[in-house]
Structure formats: structure tokens, C-alpha cells
Amino acid sequence: MAGAIASRMSFSSLKRKQPKTFTVRIITMDAEMEFNCEVLDHDVPKEEPVTFHFLAKFYPENAEDELVQDITQHLFFLQVKKQILDEKISCPPEASVLLASYAVQAKYGDYDPTVHKRGFLAQEELLPKRVINLYQMTPEMWEERITAWYGQHRGRARDEAEMEYLKIAQDLEMYGVNYFAIRNKKGTELLLGVDALGLHIYDMENRLTPKISFPWNEIRNVSYSDKEFTIKPLDKKIDVFKFNSSKLRVNKLILQLCIGNHDLFMRRRKADSLEVQQMKAQAREEKARKQMERQRLAREKQMREEAERTRDELERRLLQLKDEATMANEALMRSEETADLLAEKAQITEEEAKLLAQKAAEAEQEMQRIKATAIRTEEEKRLMEQKVLEAEMLALKMAEESERRAKEADQLKQDLQEARDSERRAKQKLLEITSKSSYTQPMNSGSTALPADMPTFNLISESLSFDFKDTDMKRLSMEIEKEKVEYMEKSKHLQEQLNELKTEIEALKLKERETAMDILHSENNERGSSKHNTIKKLTLQSTKSRVAFFEEL
């Protein structure tokens, strides 16, 4: 990373009578530098303990390509995040929500509704106060929108989420720009912006869109004399242009920034040194190792989840079988009770049929006896015939009743047989359920165990040779072009998402709370202008015309 590694140091006691020194090590793209600084050379506050913040002085053009080590990326992410929250880097509301979702992913990992419940972001500082005050939205509403985007980042590790954050932040207009108040020859108050791409001139009221830009490859020399600062273009035919700053120490700082950014600008456009190539190769190997480790953990997690699902399914099936067994037992008991009742009723019916048959036989005997008895008189004969008729009718009724009782007895016997068949089937089903349950237990006991022979991955580092040839340069160029195409596609998708979020929250915006920066963001968005295409358009103008325009401001 270009610039100092961001860190935090505290000194519990500093006595001004005894100057203290500290050592600062700066790691640049291809070298390490170490120097001693005397603490009292700086504006050190008198309070104790004294806290020093070591921050990146030079910002990378492409964070993904230039931030090689994870610790460098993490500390630079913290620095940029704090600058956005402190509004030192202006950020549109919709981009602020997206950046907040990546910051949450970096801190909390994958979204889990059972863990990350409503209100879990209540104590987090994720959005600039300007954005919060601009909309008529509660903290719960902001959390809901951040969480909606946060859930889409599932599977990203901390370093990946931080890099996505930086890739969005580096496209913001104020990213990496150091502003200084200056005056041109006419005494017009302007702002000078120094960043990784070049020098830019701004109006005092507009820090987003430069009026003039000079890329580093068009600048030959920069120098200052007292408060006057001189910039010499690469084209010697074009006159130098000058401006005045407020203090001499400001010119010293501007010169340091110009020299450092110009040097890094030119280095980025050359082939990497052997040391940087080795660092990048080691970083790629480490990244591949971490990716393999994440994939292994993901597979283990998936297998564990599948095992838990299988166990839950087996437990559910076991409970279902137990319920079925209970129901089968109850049905068996009801069948046995029904069979007993039918058997008892059949026995009673059979006895009644026998009794009726006996009475019918007695009536038949009585009829025969009456017929055998001779009654001489007509009256006796008529009475006899009437009795005979009544006896025949009674015998017929008894015979019908006996037949009906016999049929009823046969039906009861048939019902009894069916009840016994039902009882036999219920017993058979109970035996089947019992046998299934006996197989379920061993399956359940082994369902959560993970395979013991899990594949392992060993990284063997081999010696690397670095011999840059034409083929290597062509391959590198092709890779860069491919990455550019992929980046443009992702940027298009990202812009669509940001526009969608902006449409959602636009109705809740409080127009009276809009700041000048918000209005400038809106105007740039309506014109479709961005940081890079604005600078590109400005640099298409001739250097001479830009210098003349600066003098006329």
C-alpha cells in the first residue's frame, strides 16, 4: 500500500523538558523506509495520555490491485470508513446504505435471522449524520434497508467485504483528495485538490466537480518560493502557471504530496519490481489457501446441516410411527371389544332361535292332536276349525320368526368372523410398525456423525521465477482488460441497485435539510457524471487552454 500503515499508539507521559522520539516505518509499493521523528516537532497537545493516529498519506488508485496484505487492507478500510462517517469524504445516501451493509458483513459475517434480530445494529455507527438527518426515517427503517442489502452478501469473508467497501469508496469524488485554499493571479479564491491522479482546481463551493484537471503525466516539475507555488507543464512551449497559498508550511505539504503521488502514479504504469511480484504471488497463494479453507468449512457446514436435517427427519418419522402404533393398538382393542359383543349377541340369538323352534314344534303337535280329536257338533267343528286356523297362523308366525332369528344369527356369525379378521390384520400391522422402529434407532444414532476421512489440502510452495518477457506483458494486458470488462459489468449492476434504493427513499427526503453537497450530488447524478469521466473530459482539453482558463478564473 502506498503510504503509512494506519495504526494507533498512545504515550502515557510526555515531558517537554525531555524530547521523546519515535520510529515510523513506512511500507510503500516496493520498499520499506524507516526514520526517526521527534515528538515535539509536531503540535502535541498538553493533555495526557497523548494519542497519535498514523494514517495513509497516499491513496491507491485501485485498492484491489495495490493493497496486497490483509492487515494493510483492513487498516485502510477502517481509515476510509471513518472519513466517510466523519463526512470528510462526501457520500450519496444510497451509496452510504450499501457501504454500511458491507461494513456489517465484515463485522458480523453471514446474516442469520435467528442471531441478528431486530435492533442488533442499534448501537452501530454506520451512516453519516448528514444522511440520517436528510430523510424522515427512524433508526429501525434504516436498519431494515441496511439488513436487506446485508442479507445479499452471504458467503463473503471479512477481507472480501472490506475490499467491496473500498472498491465503491474509491469511486467517490472526494476519495483521496487533499484540499488546499489558494489564489490565482487575479486573487480569486479557489481550492487545489491533490490526489493519486493529478492536480485539480475547484470552486470554493463545489468540492465534487473540478473546473480544471492536470494529470501527473502532463506535469514536468513543481516547486515553490515562499507562498508562491509554480507548476511546469510537460510541454515546454506552454507557460508555467502559478498560485499563492496562505502559509509557507502549506506549500511544503503540497510539494510533498505532489512528489509522492507523482512517483506512485508513474510506478503504477510500469512493470512491478521483483519484490512486489513476490509479495503479490505470496498474497495470491494465501488467498487461494484461504479460499480452499473456506470451501472446506462450507462443505463441512453443509454436511453437518444435511446430517441434522436427516436426524430431524428420522426423529419426525419415529414419532409418526409411534403415533401410528398407538392408533393401531387402540383399533385392535376396539376390534376385540366389538368381537366379544358380537359373539355374545350371536349366542343369545341362537338360544332364542332354538326356543322358538321348540315352541313351533309344540304348536304343531297341538294342532295334530286337535285334528285327531273328533268333534261331533258343527259348533264344536267350527270352533275347532277356528282354533286350528289360529294354531296354523301361530305356527306360521313362529316359523317366520324362527327363520328370521336364524338369519340374524348367521349375520352375527359373519360379523364376528370379519371382526376377527380385522383383529388379525391390526396385529400384523402392529408387528410391522414395531419392526420398522427397531431399524430406526441405529440410523438415528449414526446420522449426525461426519465422515472421518475428510479430504485435506496441503499447500506446497514452489520456487517462483520472475522473468518478464513480451508474452508475460501480453498476458498481463489481457488479464487487465478482462478485469476491466468484469468491473464495468459489476458497476452497471451496482448502479442499478443504487438507483432502486434511491427511488425507495426519495419520498422520505426532507428538502429543507438538503446541504450544498447533497444538491451537488443530485446534479451530478442527473447529468450522469462521475469522478473518472469528469476528469477524463477535462484532460481532453489542451494543456495550454487549461492553464489559460485557470488564469482567467
Using one digit for the tens of pLDDT, what is the confidence trace for 442-456? 444 443 343 444 333
Report cis status (omega within 30 of 0) of the bond before 128.
no
Q: Provide the sign of the torsion angle of the four alpha carbons 150, 156, 157, 163, taken in this order.
A: negative
What is the DSSP code (8-state) at residue 40? G
Using one digit for the tens of pLDDT, what is the confidence trace for 487-515? 666 666 677 777 777 777 777 777 777 77
In whole angstroms, give the CA distance from residue 9 to residue 17. 21
- Band (pLDDT 50/70/90 cuts) for residue 377 is low
Using one digit for the tens of pLDDT, what is the confidence trace for 297-333? 888 888 988 899 899 999 999 999 999 899 988 888 8
Q: What is the mean pLDDT of residues 367-375?
A: 72
At 547 the pLDDT is 63
Mean pLDDT in the chain?
77
Using one digit for the tens of pLDDT, what is the confidence trace for 47-80? 777 777 778 889 999 988 888 888 889 999 999 9
- Using alpha carbons only, give the angle 173, 179, 185 rounded to the nearest 5 degrees: 120
In whole angstroms, give the CA distance from residue 279 to residue 285. 10
What is the DSSP code (8-state) at residue 493? H
- DSSP letter for each residue of 167-183: HHHTTSTTTTPEEEEEE
Q: What is the mean pLDDT of residues 412-441?
A: 71
At 86 the pLDDT is 92
- DSSP letter for each residue of 125-149: --S-HHHHHHB---HHHHHHHHHHH
Q: What is the mean pLDDT of residues 416-427?
A: 77
Helices 470-506 and 139-150 meet at what angle, rounded to 10? 150
- What beta strand segments (E) does 367-410 contain? none
Q: What is the mean pLDDT of residues 528-553?
A: 67
In whole angstroms, give the CA distance from residue 517 to residue 532. 18
- DSSP letter for each residue of 291-347: HHHHHHHHHHHHHHHHHHHHHHHHHHHHHHHHHHHHHHHHHHHHHHHHHHHHHHHHH
486/41: higher pLDDT: 486
Residue 194 corresponds to which cell in the numbers above? 491533490
Q: For the ranges 216-230, 242-256, 402-416, which has the lowest average pLDDT?
A: 402-416
Q: What is the mean pLDDT of residues 8-14?
A: 32
CATH code for the part of the protein at 178-270+528-552: 2.30.29.30
Asked if 233 and 30 touch (Cβ cutoff 8 Å), the reply is no
At 549 the pLDDT is 66
Alpha helices in 210-273 (DSSP H): 248-268
At 84 the pLDDT is 94
At 485 the pLDDT is 64
Q: What is the mean pLDDT of residues 265-272?
A: 86
- pLDDT of residue 29 exceeding 50: no
Q: What is the mean pLDDT of residues 256-281?
A: 87
26/138: higher pLDDT: 138
At 58 the pLDDT is 92
Measured CA distances, 322 to 29, 317, 331, 342, 426 (Å): 69, 9, 14, 30, 15
Q: 231: closest CA among 251, 250, 211? A: 251
Using one digit for the tens of pLDDT, what is the confidence trace for 85-142? 999 999 998 899 999 999 999 999 889 888 888 889 988 999 999 999 888 889 999 9
- pLDDT of residue 8 exceeding 60: no
Asked if 459 and 273 touch (Cβ cutoff 8 Å), the reply is no
Residue 375: exposure state from Cβ atoms within 10 A (0-12, 13-18, ≥19): middle
Q: What is the mean pLDDT of residues 433-443?
A: 53
Q: Which residue has the cell 485538490?
A: 193
At 481 the pLDDT is 63
In whole angstroms, give the CA distance from residue 118 to residue 467. 56
